[in-house]
Structure 1
Amino acid sequence: MKNLMLGAAVSVALFGSVAQAAITLDGAGKVVVTPADTYEIYLGGASAALDYIEHLATSNSVIAADRMCDSTQPIYKFKDNGGGKDQNAYYCTLNPLNPQLVGLAAGKANLLIYKRSVGGSAYGVTPIIDDAKGAASASIAFLNVDPSVCTVPVLSSGLLTSTCTYSPTTAGQFQMAKPDFGVSDVDPEQFRGFNTPAGFSPVNPTDLSLLNVESAGGQVFGIGATKKLRNALQEAQFGVGNACVGSETEACMPSLTRDQIASIMTGKLDSWKDLKIGASDLYTAASAANKPGNANARVHICTRTDGSGTKAQMGVNFLNYPCASAATAPAADTGALIETIAKTQVHALGSSGGVSECLRELDAGNNTIGTSFNNTYTAGGARWAIGIQGLEKNANQAEDWRFVKIDGVAPTLANVAKGKYHDWAELTFQYSKTHAWDLSEDLIVKEFIKAAGNPNVIVSLNQTNVHPFGDSGYLASPKNFAPDVNGNFASSYPVNPYSHATTSLPVNNCRIPTAYDLSNAAAGVQLQ
C-alpha cells in the first residue's frame, strides 16, 4: 500500500505530470474517457442524496483537504436526457490538496464517479448484497458516457455538462456494472416488505453480516404540497385574504399533523373535502384562485416506487412500517384513475426529480416539464397533491410546490437537533466485504464516505439548503463527531445530538432516536 501522507514536495512531484494525463476531448469537443488514467467508481442508491453527492464530488466550497476533485481543472458532469436526475456521472482530475488522494496520482490522475439514482435507495443495498453473494443480479444499468451518445459539454452551474441519451434497454445507451458502494436514505434492514423493489429479494438480518455499513449522518425530509394546496392550507389556518396567504415565512407555513399525513399516505382520505374546517371543508373553503380543477377534490400523492429510501423513511416515521408487524403499508401506485372513483390517486416515481415533476405538473395542470411523470389530468386543470422530498430540494423555491410544517414544527436543522422535528433519517453507505477492487479504489471510496459525514464538509453542502423558514438539509452523526456539550445547535458545525444508533448498536431507523452519548459531565440536550 502506498504511503498517502506525503509532504508538499512529494505531492508536487507526483502531480507535476498530471497535465500529460488531462481529460481529453475528441475532434467534436466531446469528452473521451481514458480508462488507463482514470479511476472509475460506481455508486448506486438514494436519489434524494443526488445533490449531496454532486456537491461533495465537485464543489470547490468543500474544504480543500476533503475535496475529491481538483477545482483548478475542468470538471465534467454527465446527465441522462430524461431530466438529468436518474443517471449521472462526474469526471475530474484528482484533487492534489487532499492528502488521502495524493499518492494515487502516480497510478492514475483522473476520477470518474457514476451515480445511479433511478430506483432509489434499494439500488444502493440489494446489488451490494448480491455482489457479496456472487449473484449475477449485482450488475445494474449505469449511464454510458461514450461520445456516440453524449453531447458536447456546455458550462452549467460551474460544471461542464453533457447530456447523454439513456435507455436501460437500448444497446450503447447504458452499461452494466457492479456498484462499488451504495448509499441509502435509511439503513439496509428497512428494505423488506413493500420496500423491496421489483426483481430483488427482501433484505434479511443475515445479509447484513456481508456488508460494511457506515453512518453518513442525518437527512431532513418533509412533506411538499403543490403551491395552490399550500395556499389553500394557509387560507384555512390564517383566513382567506390574510397576509400569510402566499407568504414564505416560517410563521406563515401551514401545518399538517402526523396522523393526518398518515391517513393521506395510506389512502384513508381520498378527497380533500375529508379535511374539515368546522362544518365546511378545505376544498369548499378555498378561494377560487387556489381551488383545484376537479370538483371531486380527489387527493393526489406524488410518492416513490418500492425500493426508495425516501418512501421507506416516510413509512418508518409516519406509519411505523416496516418496523411493526401490525403497521399499515403506504397506499400503492394507482396509475391513472377516473376521478369520480372514490380512491386516492397515487403516483409512484422512480426518483426525487420525478416527484418534483409530478407536483409541478399537477399544480400547473400541464404535462410539459419532463418525462418522469405523465400528467393525464391536464384537461381538468390543476390538482392538489402532496409529495415526499428531502429538504435539499427547492430551497430557491423555483418549483411550484412548498414544504409544510408537521405538528406545527418547521423542517429545520435546529428543530431536528432540538428533538422537535421527527421526519428525518440516518443515511448509510455500504459496500460488500468481499468486493473486488484495487487498493486505490478502496481508498477513494473510504475517503468519499469519510468526507460525506464530516460536519466541516456538510456545512458547505447545506449552503444550498437555506429555505425562507430556516436552514435545513444534513447533519453529522454523533457516532462520528461530538455535538456541542450543552446540546446547542450551530449551523456552522451541524452535528445532531440524537441518533438511531446507540453506543453499542448500529444505526436502525426503526429505533426511536435518542441522545447518543452524554458521558461528558457538561453534555446534554436543549429543552427549548
Structure 2
Amino acid sequence: MKKLILGAAVSAALLAGTAQAAITLDGAGKVVVTPADTYEIYLSGASAALDYIEHLATSTSVIAADRMCDSTQPIYKFKDNGGGKDQNAYYCTLNPLNPQLVGLAGGKANLLIYKRSVGGSAKGVAPLIDDAKGNNAAAHVEFLNVDPSVCTAPTGTGLLTSTCTYSPTTAGQFKSEIPDFGISDVDPEQFRGVNTSGTAVNPSDVGLLNVESAGGQVFGIGATLKLRNALQEAQFGVGNACVGAESEACMPSLTRDQVASIMTGKLDSWKDLKVGASDLYTLASAAYKPGNANARVHICTRTDGSGTKAQMGINFLNYPCATAATAPKADTGTLGEVIASAQVHAMSSAGNLSECLRELDAGVNTIGTGFNNTYTTGGARWAIGLQGLEKNANQAEDWRFIKIDGIAPTLENVAKGKYHDWAELTFQYSKTHVWDLSEDLIVKEFIKAASNPNVIVSLNQTNIHPFGDSGFLASPKNFTPTANGTFASSYPVNPYSHATTSQGVNNCRIPAAYDLPNATNAGIQLQ
C-alpha cells in the first residue's frame, strides 16, 4: 500500500470528522468502490476460516460495539465466479457504534476487506515474512478485483452478493497487493517440510512478525455419506436404527492410528479395514457400496501450505514436530484405480475439498470447478477429508463428520481435554509493514474482536451440529475460562492452550492448562 501524505489543513479537517459518504451504485446497479472514502484492507490465508472471517465482518449477531460494519446500511459481498471458495471481499460503512472505529485519522467512511483463501494458510504467512524482509515482489499476491467491469450487480437480502470473474493471470480480473495481515490455522513456524508453499519458514523469521492468537478452531475428519453409513452398519449392525441417523450416539468412529494409517497411504483399499473375519466393503449394503470392486481408498486433502493439512499432520502424525514423523501421502494426480495405492486429491481450498467429497459420493462431475472427478465408472467412491467444524452444520452436503477415538468433535469435548483434533489459529503482520492512515488500528480491532468470546459465541451460532456445538473457542491466553473449568457455550473459552505464560503459541506443543495458579476458581474437569 502507498502511504497517504496529507497537508495539515486536510488532516485537521479529517480529524474533525466528515459527513458519511454512502456506498454508490452505477447505472447498471453495480457497486462502485470509492478509494478516497474507503479503507481497503487485504487479508490472506486460511481458507478454513473463511466463514469465520465473513461472519466477523458482516454478521449482525456480533455485539454492536464489536462490529466492523454498520448494520443499518447495505453490506456487500463479492465472490469469485468459482463459487467464492478462493477469493472474497466485503464492503460496508464503518460501524459508528464501535468506539475504536470512530474518529480515525484517515477520515474515511467505508471499509473494504479483501479475503484471499486460495493457497491456504501459507499465504497468510510467507508474504508477510517477505514484506518484513523488504522482498516486495515476493510479498505481492493476487486478490479479487471488485471493479464493475468484471462483477455483477449485487442480489439477495441481508448480505448483498456480487459475483466477479476472477483469474490470477488475466489482466483486470485480479489485483496484486501486499497483504496487510494474514491468518493461519496453525502458528507460522509449522510451515516447513510438506507444509511449505514456496519458501519454508525459518523459525528465526517468525521474529519479524507480530503474531497474535486468534483462539482455537475445532477440526475433524469428514466421510462421504455412503462411507459414513457403511461405517455405521459395521459398528452398529446392518438394519440398525443408527444407520443414516445423525445423532451423537449414532456417529461412527475411527481411531487416531486408523486415520494416521489412511493419511500416510498405508491402506490402499477400504477392504483393509477389517470387521472380525470380514471387512468394511464386504459388509456394506449394496446401496452404500463404492462403485469400484477394489474399494480403493480416496482422500480429499489440501495442497501443501494449507493450515488444515498442517494441523492434521501435527495432531495425527506428529509432523513436522518430530524428525522421525511420517509425512502425509502426497497428491497422486491421475493415478489409476487399478494400481494398489490410495488416491489422494489435494485441493486448494476448504470449499474445493467439500466439492471433492460431494462429487465422489455422488459419482458425478457436475457440482463445481474445484475438483475434476474422473472416478465415475460404477458410481460413487468412498473418501475421507479434512475440514473445520464450521463446515456442513446444516448437513446440506453429502458428507459427515465422524468421531475420533469414540469422541465427537464438539467444543465441550475440546474444553474437557477429550477431543484432540483442534489447533490455535494465529493472525500475523509484519513489524515493518507500511500502513495507510488508521488501517493498522482497524486491523488490530479486527484481531481483537476475532478472539473475544463474546464475539465467538455469535460466530458459533452457525456451527450447531446434530451431535453438539462446535467451531471456535477463545484462548485462555487472552480470556479467563469459566470457573472450575466447566464449559459454557455462552462464553466459549478453552482452558487449554498451545502457549505458555512465557512462550507464544506453538501447535507442536501438547496443549495444557494455562496459568491456573494465578486464576480464581480455576481448574480442569476430570470427566
Normalised to the residue count of structure 2, the TM-score between the two structures is 0.96
Residue identity in the other structure for 1:127: P
CA distance in 2, matches of 1:149, 1:512: 47
Q: String of CA shifts for 1:310-365, please: whole Å, max 9, x gaps.
A: 00000000000000000000000001222110000000000000010000000000
- Contact 2:17-2:107 within 8 A present in 1 as well: no
- Contact 2:80-2:88 within 8 A present in 1 as well: yes
Matches within 5 A, 1:59-458: 59-104=59-104, 107-135=107-135, 136-155=137-156, 158-197=158-197, 200-458=198-456
Q: String of CA shifts for 1:99-138, please: whole Å, max 9, x gaps.
A: 0001128710000000000000000000000000111100
- Contact 2:181-2:427 within 8 A present in 1 as well: yes
Deviation, structure 1 residue 229: 0.1
Return closer, same or farther for 1:177/1:106 CA change in 2, 3 Å cut-off.
closer
CA distance in 2, matches of 1:261, 1:422: 13
Secondary structure at the aligned position of 2:62 is classed as coil
CA distance in 1, matches of 2:424, 2:489: 18
- Contact 1:14-1:106 within 8 A present in 2 as well: no
The aligned residue for residue 7 of structure 2 is none
The aligned residue for residue 526 of structure 2 is 527
Residue identity in the other structure for 2:525: Q
Q: String of CA shifts for 1:239-289, please: whole Å, max 9, x gaps.
A: 000000000000000000000000000000010000000110000000001
Matches within 5 A, 1:11-26: 17-18=19-20, 21-26=21-26
- Contact 1:185-1:427 within 8 A present in 2 as well: yes
Secondary structure at the aligned position of 1:396 is classed as coil
Secondary structure at the aligned position of 1:77 is classed as strand
CA distance in 2, matches of 1:522, 1:395: 34
- Contact 2:106-2:438 within 8 A present in 1 as well: no
- Contact 1:217-1:475 within 8 A present in 2 as well: yes
Secondary structure at the aligned position of 1:379 is classed as coil
The aligned residue for residue 43 of structure 2 is 43
RMSD, aligned α-carbons: 1.1
Secondary structure at the aligned position of 1:90 is classed as strand
Return closer, same or farther for 1:292/1:14 CA change in 2, 3 Å cut-off.
farther
CA distance in 2, matches of 1:106, 1:175: 23
The aligned residue for residue 488 of structure 1 is 486
Tell me if 1:513 matches 2:511. yes
The aligned residue for residue 464 of structure 1 is 462
The aligned residue for residue 10 of structure 2 is none
Return closer, same or farther for 1:25/1:268 CA change in 2, 3 Å cut-off.
same
Return closer, same or farther for 1:330/1:365 CA change in 2, 3 Å cut-off.
same
The aligned residue for residue 4 of structure 2 is none
Aligned residues with identical type, % of pairs: 85
- Contact 2:39-2:112 within 8 A present in 1 as well: yes
Residue identity in the other structure for 1:189: E
CA distance in 2, matches of 1:399, 1:214: 33
Q: Name which of structure 1's ranges 236-245 and 200-209 shifts more when overlaid on structure 2.
A: 200-209
CA distance in 2, matches of 1:208, 1:506: 11
Figure out how many residues of one structure are paired with residues of the other and give that number.
511
CA distance in 2, matches of 1:468, 1:484: 25
- Contact 1:15-1:96 within 8 A present in 2 as well: no
Residue identity in the other structure for 2:28: A
Secondary structure at the aligned position of 1:52 is classed as helix
Residue identity in the other structure for 1:75: I
CA distance in 1, matches of 2:454, 2:133: 36
Secondary structure at the aligned position of 1:103 is classed as coil
Residue identity in the other structure for 2:144: L
- Unmatched segments (≥5 aa) in structure 1: 1-12
- Contact 2:105-2:438 within 8 A present in 1 as well: no
Q: String of CA shifts for 1:406-433, please: whole Å, max 9, x gaps.
A: 0000000000000000000000000000
- Contact 2:214-2:424 within 8 A present in 1 as well: yes
Secondary structure at the aligned position of 2:365 is classed as coil
CA distance in 1, matches of 2:16, 2:318: 53
- Contact 2:166-2:173 within 8 A present in 1 as well: yes
Q: Name which of structure 1's ranges 332-341 and 271-280 shifts more when overlaid on structure 2.
A: 332-341
CA distance in 2, matches of 1:344, 1:524: 44
Return closer, same or farther for 1:162/1:83 CA change in 2, 3 Å cut-off.
same
CA distance in 1, matches of 2:96, 2:80: 30
Residue identity in the other structure for 2:133: K
Deviation, structure 1 residue 439: 4.1
Return closer, same or farther for 1:266/1:106 CA change in 2, 3 Å cut-off.
closer
The aligned residue for residue 498 of structure 1 is 496
Residue identity in the other structure for 1:452: A
Secondary structure at the aligned position of 1:414 is classed as helix
CA distance in 2, matches of 1:167, 1:351: 15
Residue identity in the other structure for 1:270: D
Secondary structure at the aligned position of 1:411 is classed as coil
Secondary structure at the aligned position of 1:526 is classed as coil
Residue identity in the other structure for 1:152: A
Residue identity in the other structure for 1:55: H
Secondary structure at the aligned position of 1:100 is classed as helix
CA distance in 2, matches of 1:495, 1:181: 24
Return closer, same or farther for 1:15/1:458 CA change in 2, 3 Å cut-off.
farther
CA distance in 2, matches of 1:60, 1:127: 32
CA distance in 2, matches of 1:238, 1:376: 33
- Contact 2:56-2:450 within 8 A present in 1 as well: yes
Deviation, structure 1 residue 521: 5.4
CA distance in 2, matches of 1:153, 1:257: 46
- Contact 1:365-1:382 within 8 A present in 2 as well: yes
